[in-house]
Structure 1
Amino acid sequence: MPNPYFRFKQFTIHQDRCAMKVTTDACLFGAWVAARIPEKASSVLDVGAGTGLLTLMIAQTGNRLIDAVEIQEADYQQAAENIGQTAWHASIRLMRGDVLDVVFQKKYDVIVSNPPFYERDLKGGEQPKNIAHHSEALSLGELLSFIRKQLVSGGSFFLLLPARREAELLRLLEPLGLHIHHCCYVQQTEKHAPFRIMVAGAFEKKEHKEEGRILIRNRNEYTPEFKTLLQPYYLHL
């Protein structure tokens, strides 16, 4: 059974009522995004807030206004509690609803999402987990169209996806005029194939897409690259 809470250096994530729990790859993504957000970016939107983890990791690194949207009531309530106990609560606005139905009053410098991973996959019997893990409420195509609509012209977007969906992502991005600037492949160890991709993109098309990789572990220890990214957050780093 997952731990009911996850304590970081500057905040605590309670997750006993959330369908999507704290995972190592989600923490890595949050740290990777926070390190890459341009300093001039003043407005951020987190699509699918879940526990509030990604929102809080970004909030820790800069003085920004952050909006976050969560569709599920239980997750929304717990994220609100997690955010409300931090020093950054006044700069975060958490909204309950479907991003496709919410009326936004502005466009954003940065849009980030750790979206539902699976489409057309076998589902379990728990509906909240199905919504969190499968694209029942928000498909990847819908998410990318939303990003195109709500991102400012010079803005950036960040996504975490299963590595096997890279070709699908590229196919969907092209007609929307969105382009990948950096793709980082995440591997559990050197012996494992990539299981996640962390993507940074924008409207502007670059001649050469940057590529990188991060190994989470080397034998039984976190790798130096992983430690460097997570050191500001993990208690024991």
Structure 2
Amino acid sequence: MSNSFFKFKEFTVHQDKTAMKVCTDACLFGAWVADNLEMSRLKNILDIGTGTGLLSLMLAQFSQAQIDAVEIEPMAVEQARENFQASKWTNQLHIHPTSILEFAKNPIKTFDLIISNPPFFEQQLKSNNSQRNIAMHSNNLTLTELAYCIIELLADSGKAAILLPWNRTEEWKAIAEKLGLFCIKETAVKQTTTHTYFRTMLIMQKKASMVNFSSITIKDGTVYSKEFIKLLTPYYLAL
């Protein structure tokens, strides 16, 4: 059974009310985004599908930006709100209990950074847990809809960061490019040196540019890799 909370160096994520728990690839993604962008320059950040609020909290640790977090699942909204209120960044963090499709219809502003760990799977076998299905399956939000929303809400000079299953990377890039959203950095993720790639972390923008490709392995044997340790040291208590 998963722990009811996950304690980081500067904040705690309670997760007893949500189906999707704190996971290593999401933590890596948040740390990677913070490491690859000039966080101090950001004024407005949007977190699409915030869940527990993990990514918003990770970015708030290194940013003075106002962070708007959108979440459709009611229990996740309640969980994220509680996690935000318990943090030291309550004045920066704002939860919106709605879908990103509705949020994008009447945008309150454009964003310097949009971050999302979106629903992964389309038309695949679902569980009996309706909360988990909303979080994991993209019937409620397709990749095309996600791309449209990002284009609508992203500032012309802004960046969008997306975490996806590795096998959906090319599908996403093709959809995004047709709408005018281009990849500028792509990092493929392995669990260990003996595993194949299972996630891809991407940074997108509205202007086409050369793509910076890289890869990272979470564990080297039974211990975290040097690259992973470098990224997660500001967050993980054990590092």
TM-score (norm 1): 0.98
- Matching of residue 78 in structure 1 with residue 79 in structure 2: yes
Between the aligned partners of 1:84 and 1:35, the Cα distance in structure 2 is 25
Between the aligned partners of 1:27 and 1:219, the Cα distance in structure 2 is 20
Report the CA distance between 1:36 and its aligned residue.
Answer: 2.0
The equivalent residue for 2:28 is 28
Q: Is the 8 A contact 2:42 2:64 kept in 1?
A: no
The equivalent residue for 1:163 is 166
Query: What are the within-5 Å matches in structure 2 for residues 178-193 of structure 1?
Result: 178-193=181-196
Q: Number of residues paired by the alignment?
A: 236
- Residue type of the partner of 1:224? K
TM-score (norm 2): 0.97
The equivalent residue for 1:154 is 157
Aligned residue among 110, 115, 118 for 2:118: 115
- Residue type of the partner of 2:225? T
The equivalent residue for 2:217 is 215
Listed one character per residue, the Cα deviations across residues 32-88 of structure 1 (whole Å, up to 9, x for unaligned) are 111123332211000001000000000001211110011011000011101101110
The equivalent residue for 1:204 is 207
The equivalent residue for 1:173 is 176
Listed one character per residue, the Cα deviations across residues 132-184 of structure 1 (whole Å, up to 9, x for unaligned) are 00002111110011000110100000000000001211220121111000100
- Residue type of the partner of 2:42? A
Q: Which moved more, 1:223-232 or 1:35-44?
A: 35-44
Between the aligned partners of 1:40 and 1:90, the Cα distance in structure 2 is 18
Q: Is the 8 A contact 1:37 1:110 kept in 2?
A: no
- Matching of residue 227 in structure 1 with residue 229 in structure 2: yes
- Matching of residue 17 in structure 1 with residue 17 in structure 2: yes
Q: Which moved more, 1:168-177 or 1:150-159?
A: 168-177
Q: Is the 8 A contact 1:162 1:195 kept in 2?
A: yes
SS at match of 1:2: coil
- Matching of residue 195 in structure 1 with residue 198 in structure 2: yes
Between the aligned partners of 2:176 and 2:71, the Cα distance in structure 1 is 24
The equivalent residue for 1:55 is 56
SS at match of 2:215: strand
Report the CA distance between 1:19 and its aligned residue.
Answer: 1.6
Report the CA distance between 1:104 and its aligned residue.
Answer: 2.1
SS at match of 2:96: strand
